Structure 1
Amino acid sequence: MRVFILGGTGVVGSAVVRELIARGHELFGLARSGTAAARLGQWGATPIAGDIGCPEPWVGKLPQLDAVVHAACDFDSDMGTTDRRLLDVLLPTLAAQRDPPRLIYTGGCWLFGATGDELATEETPFRPLPAFAWMVPQLRRVLTATGLDGIVIHPAMVYARDGGVFHRLARDAKTGETVSVVESEAVRWPLVHNEDLASLYALALESAPAGSSYIGAAIEGLPIGRIARAFARRFGTGKIEPQIVPVDAIAAELGEWARGYALDQRLSGAKARRELGWRPKHLDPEGEIARLVSS
């Protein structure tokens, strides 16, 4: 397939690019900078210069495509407006292509709100974090759009070795500081490694029915305190017990979207396993942290 990816140099998108190229697909990627273009080219993708915040100049220049993967999001106060403008331009352009392309849209675990002990599935009603409420009508636009095959994937909290959602924890541990967690170390995060998530995107691209949605959760819910303590042990911080950061403090530092770090969640990836044959390999993040090479 000829696939165009938005957000192809991010934690999710970079893994998707490498996975799809390894599976023999031809990749094009939106590149906002020369650095992004070089990275995409290094992996074997063809960069297309442009910015999701200004889609008009580049959308009309897209080649004939079999699929688009939308994995881009600017975590700022205008992200909803940016995404709506992007789809306003992108959806009719894709619908006008010779053959109906697939469009995989990236939702997120924070659309399900705090689930507590309930195990959320694709049938669970959305209770979105307010900062991401704009995403619900957007993904419904994708699923019901005419002239293309829309699919939605809801990633769990995405980690990559000591990166992704583990970045702040790893940073604290590597600098010898007490590792900080938001609200409580008992808060559970559903987790997925970016390589496993990339496999799910590839499977959905190749075989998911149009109009379908999948939760990408390899681990249903793991207390974040266990991850913080694993980093503290691995890098020898002076105090194993995590420092608790109030959710209001993290929101003031990063933005309202960061309140998601305090959501206690359990999410199921059973549908993707059952329907697409998804088989995540990274099921022991604490063990992976213990094996990290110091740098």
Structure 2
Amino acid sequence: MKVLLTGATGYIGSAVTDHLTAAGHQVVALTRGAEPRPGRGWHAQLAGDTADPASLAGAVTPEIEAVIHLALPSGDADVDTAVIEALATPLRGTGRPFVYTSGVWVLGATGQAQEVGEDALVNPIDLVGYRPRIEQRVLAEAAEGVRAVVVRPGIVYGRGGGIPALLVDRARRKGRPEYFGEEGVRWPTVHVDDLAELFVAAVERAEAGTVWHGVGEPAVAVRDLARAAGRAAGVLAAPHALPAEQGAEDFGPLFADALALDQSVSGAAARTVLGWRPARPGPVAELVSGSYRPVEVFGAPDGPGTDAEVTAIRQLVAEVEYAQQNELADRFLSLFRPQDPVWTTGHGRRLSGFEEIATFTRKVLPGAAAESTAVYDVERVLFLRPDVAAVNVRQQPVHLDGTRITDLPEGRPFYILVKEDGTWRVGAAQNTVVAD
């Protein structure tokens, strides 16, 4: 399909462009100006501004087979209604899709209800107060022969952006992880690339008059997100809840209310009916060892192939951390290459061969995390070959609550990883204590 995409230059729009193109569709980007934007992957570019509905006249030509409206609301209900009119009217009687982007904030606080679905009554917070009316205006186009669809994303993360990036930046600036509202606040979340795949599914096969929640995880504790954001910022400290009044001073009262909103929202319908399969790492994992913590990479070309390998390497190191913190000897041992691995411990003991490593691990790991543990962060990856990588890791001792133990030195593990049968494993490792 040839898809007109508003908001194509934005955070979500960039991901939707990538996934539409990968699915074989052609993206016609609606942009405020006519200046070329090379490297965007668009089939064509049109000038128009969703803040000026009159500028959209003629944007939906007969060759446009679908419209995805991702541009941010103007803040004026009449303007946004006029935009829907301008974009949807040319599609009437064609059965072609019009997909509108709303958001789960129209549901308001979900209270004791767990994983509310698309049939829940709306109770929008003030920031999105009129958006349910826009949703209904879109859905009314189904009676006019438009395959009108509404997508409500959760809190979007991934690619180093979205609201979680605000938490990272704040932790970096303030020197501690912070969040707003009560300690039990939860956010429904979705990875931006998973969300983009939902938009593709919606434009391809969602029925007219339907609403879909774009939610990968229904209720993630914001305290956990703040802690992970602190780690992404290099700040190992307990998360600190700030009163709503502080949020209002920093972000304005409307956005502060949104940040403090407690929700539990289901995305199950899209999985069941549209076959949507969100599969990216969750927001905590993404903050801790994903796009919010850049890694220096050497010896490999830029591109999605290398990105995927670095992601797999980071996941392996995250598994090392998890196994160590939870004293899981067998899980830790499964991360080693079975053929002749070598491990030099932080105390200088060299272990040769899988059996020697296994004997040592089963002896020392149980009880090792009774009072403290450590976190592991990948800092540099050197690809010696496509299937062999040298990896520098930063190891920091932490209390069981995740705060830094300041009177213990850091470690600098160095791993030689080998990819065999599609899986990265440790071939050799050396743990080195950093001395002042």
TM-score by length of 1: 0.90
Q: Does 1:244 align with 2:241?
A: yes
Contact kept? 2:107, 2:120, Cα under 8 Å: yes
Q: Alpha-carbon deviation of 1:253?
A: 3.8
Contact kept? 1:70, 1:106, Cα under 8 Å: yes
> Who is 1:137 aligned against?
133
Gaps spanning 5+ residues in structure 1: where? none
Contact kept? 2:81, 2:137, Cα under 8 Å: no
Contact kept? 2:171, 2:233, Cα under 8 Å: yes
More strand per residue:
2
Secondary structure of the residue aligned to 1:38 is coil
Judging changes above 3 Å, is the alpha-carbon distance between structure 1 residues 256 and 79 closer, same or farther for their aligned structure 2 residues? farther
Q: Deviations over 1:234-268 (max 9, x none)?
A: 4322x612233332443444344311111110000
Tell which structure's C-alpha radius of gyration is larger. Answer: 2
> Who is 2:30 aligned against?
30
Contact kept? 2:50, 2:56, Cα under 8 Å: no
> Who is 1:125 aligned against?
121
**Separation (CA, whole Å) in 2 of partners of 1:240 and 1:81:** 46
Secondary structure of the residue aligned to 1:215 is strand
Equivalent in 192, 206, 209 of residue 208 of structure 1: 206
> Who is 2:191 aligned against?
193
Amino acid at match of 1:38: R
Q: Alpha-carbon deviation of 1:198?
A: 0.5
> Who is 2:68 aligned against?
69
> Who is 2:45 aligned against?
47
Judging changes above 3 Å, is the alpha-carbon distance between structure 1 residues 176 and 130 closer, same or farther for their aligned structure 2 residues? closer
Q: Alpha-carbon deviation of 1:282?
A: 1.9
Amino acid at match of 1:217: V
Secondary structure of the residue aligned to 1:220 is strand
Judging changes above 3 Å, is the alpha-carbon distance between structure 1 residues 273 and 139 closer, same or farther for their aligned structure 2 residues? same
Gaps spanning 5+ residues in structure 2: where? 296-436
> Who is 1:279 aligned against?
277
Q: Structure with the greater relative contact order (CA < 8 A, sep ≥ 6): 1 or 2? A: 1
Q: CA RMSD in A?
A: 2.1
Judging changes above 3 Å, is the alpha-carbon distance between structure 1 residues 265 and 59 closer, same or farther for their aligned structure 2 residues? same
> Who is 1:5 aligned against?
5
Identity %, equivalent residues: 32
Amino acid at match of 2:69: H
Equivalent in 274, 289, 301 of residue 291 of structure 1: 289
Secondary structure of the residue aligned to 1:68 is strand
TM-score by length of 2: 0.62
Which ranges of 4 or more aligned residues in structure 1 deviate by more than 4 Å? none
Contact kept? 1:218, 1:283, Cα under 8 Å: no
> Who is 1:227 aligned against?
225
Judging changes above 3 Å, is the alpha-carbon distance between structure 1 residues 174 and 147 closer, same or farther for their aligned structure 2 residues? same
Equivalent in 93, 101, 125 of residue 96 of structure 2: 101
Secondary structure of the residue aligned to 1:158 is strand
Q: Deviations over 1:25-47 (max 9, x none)?
A: 01111112467x516x5223422
Judging changes above 3 Å, is the alpha-carbon distance between structure 1 residues 88 and 284 closer, same or farther for their aligned structure 2 residues? closer
> Who is 1:152 aligned against?
150
**Separation (CA, whole Å) in 1 of partners of 2:174 and 2:34:** 35
Q: Deviations over 1:171-208 (max 9, x none)?
A: 12344622221113421000000100011111111111
Q: How many residues align?
A: 288
More helix per residue:
1
Judging changes above 3 Å, is the alpha-carbon distance between structure 1 residues 232 and 254 closer, same or farther for their aligned structure 2 residues? closer
